[in-house]
Structure 1
C-alpha cells in the first residue's frame, strides 16, 4: 500500500472515531432531569457547532436512538436505547450470579430486596425480590433511583472519587423529597465518610416518607464499587435497632455477590 493511501485510510479512521465521540457527547446530554432537549440546548451543552449537532441528531433519529416531539421539536432518547440497555442487563447475567443471594436475603429479612447498578447518572434497579404470602416474586426492571437520598445510591456514591460525586449531585440537584433529605453538599460528604467507615448506608425516609432502607456496596472484579444491594421496609418495621441488625447481613450479601460476579 502506498504512503498516500495509508494516510487516507488513517484519516478516515480518525474522522469516524471523532464522529462517534461527538455522537456520545450529544447522547450524554440527556438525563432524567434533562429528558427533552432542543438543538439549541444541545449546542450549548456540547459546545459543538449547530450544523454538527443538527446532523448528529438527524442521524440518531433515523436509527431510533433519538425521538422527536412533534409539537415542541425537542429530542428525547429513543426506544432503541431501551433495547441496548436490556441487552446489557442480559449479558451481565445478574440473575445467575446475584439472584440466589438476593433471594436468601429476602427470605432472611422478609422485606423487599433491591439490586441496583449505576447507569451513569442514577441507580438502575436490575432485580427486586418481594415476598408475597408464601410466594417469592422476582422482578426485573430498569427503574431509576436517586443517588444522594437512597441507601443503594449512597452506598455506591461513598466509594467514588470526589469529582464524580460532585458531578452527579450537580446534574441531579440535591432536591428535597422529604423533610429528611440531605440537601447540603458538606453534610452529604460527612454522611459518605460514615458509610465508608461502617460499610453500609441508611435511607431514613430520605426519598419517600414511611420507607427506611439499609444498603451495602457491590464491587466488580477490579474491586471498584459499581452497584449496591438493599433491604427496605415500612418505618414501623424498620426501627434503628433492626436497621443496624440487618446491616451485617446486607454487607455479607453484597460481598458474596461481589465474589460471584468476579468469578
Structure 2
C-alpha cells in the first residue's frame, strides 16, 4: 500500500505556520530582533528558530544585520506587498476618495482593510502637511474608529474571537471589558459610524465608517482623525455624515448597490 500523503501535507502546513509566527514577531515597534528575542516570542527552541530563519533568509523574507546577531524583515516581502496593493481593488478605487476626504476636512485620513484580526491600513493622508502615504501598518480593531466601524458588522464568531484574544489597554479610555465593548459595537452599528475618543492614542479623536464589497459585506473602513481639541464632539454630528458619504462612494466604486 502506498504511504498516505496527508502526513506530508500536514508537515508542510506546520512549517508554514511556523514561518508565519516568525514573521508576526516583527512590527513597527520591533523592526529588528535577535535570535533569543524571536525564540521568546514564538516559543520555538533555538535550533528550530535558527533553521527557520536560515530558510527564510534564503528566499529573501528575512535579512540578517551584520553589526549584531539580529534579524529584520527582507525586501522580498516589500516586493510582494506592493504586488498585493497594486492588485487590490480597494487600493485603486480608494485613492481618489481618500484625497477628496482629506481636502474637504483638512484632517488625516486612513483607509484600512480587515484581515480577520486587525485593521490593515493601506493608505493614509496626513493632515499637515498633505502627504499621501501607502505604508502598510496594522491597527487594533477594538480601539480605533476604522477598526470598530468594521468589526461592528462582522459575524458573532469573529467578534468573539477578537474579544477572546484580549482587549489590550492603550489609554485610559480604551474599552477593555467585553460587555462594554459589545455595547459600543451595537451603538456603532446603529448609528452607522464609530468614534475613537483617545482610545488608541491619547488626545486623538477619530470618526470611522464601514466600506462594503460588491456583495454588501463590510470588509474595510475609512476614517478621519485629529487632535481632540481640533475635533470637538460638537462637530462629530456633521463630520460623521461626510465620512459615511465617502465610505459609501468607495463601496459604490467596488460594485455595491443599495
Aligned twin of 1:209 = 202
Q: Distance between the aligned counterparts of 1:51 and 1:97, measured in 2?
A: 46
Q: Distance between the aligned counterparts of 1:260 and 1:250, measured in 2?
A: 16
TM-score normalised to structure 1 length: 0.77
For residues 58-97 of structure 1, give each alpha carbon's deviation from its aligned partner in whole angstroms, at most 9, with x where no partner exists.
5334323356799998987554333322221121154531
Matching of residue 98 in structure 1 with residue 94 in structure 2? yes
Aligned twin of 1:256 = 249
Matching of residue 25 in structure 1 with residue 7 in structure 2? no
Matching of residue 178 in structure 1 with residue 174 in structure 2? no
Matching of residue 141 in structure 1 with residue 142 in structure 2? no
Q: Distance between the aligned counterparts of 1:112 and 1:23, measured in 2?
A: 40
Q: Distance between the aligned counterparts of 2:11 and 2:202, measured in 1?
A: 46
In structure 1, runs of 5+ residues without a counterpart are 45-49
The 1:53/1:210 distance shift into structure 2, 3 A limit, reads: closer
For residues 39-65 of structure 1, give each alpha carbon's deviation from its aligned partner in whole angstroms, at most 9, with x where no partner exists.
994569xxxxx9998866653343233
The 1:75/1:19 distance shift into structure 2, 3 A limit, reads: farther
In structure 2, runs of 5+ residues without a counterpart are 31-36
**Contact 2:86/2:92 (CA < 8 Å) preserved in 1?**
no
The 1:252/1:60 distance shift into structure 2, 3 A limit, reads: same
**Contact 1:212/1:238 (CA < 8 Å) preserved in 2?**
yes
Moved more, 56-65 or 103-112: 56-65
**Contact 1:39/1:74 (CA < 8 Å) preserved in 2?**
no
Secondary structure of 2:224's aligned partner:
strand
Aligned twin of 1:152 = 146
Aligned twin of 2:79 = 83
Tell me by how many angstroms 1:126 deviates: 1.2
After superposition, the CA RMSD in angstroms is 3.5
TM-score normalised to structure 2 length: 0.78
1:246 to 227, 239, 243: 239
Q: Distance between the aligned counterparts of 1:123 and 1:214, measured in 2?
A: 15
**Contact 2:63/2:72 (CA < 8 Å) preserved in 1?**
yes
Tell me by how many angstroms 1:140 deviates: 1.1
Secondary structure of 1:229's aligned partner:
strand
Aligned twin of 2:190 = 197
Aligned twin of 2:33 = none
Larger Rg: 1
For residues 18-50 of structure 1, give each alpha carbon's deviation from its aligned partner in whole angstroms, at most 9, with x where no partner exists.
454223322443536897542994569xxxxx9
Matching of residue 226 in structure 1 with residue 222 in structure 2? no
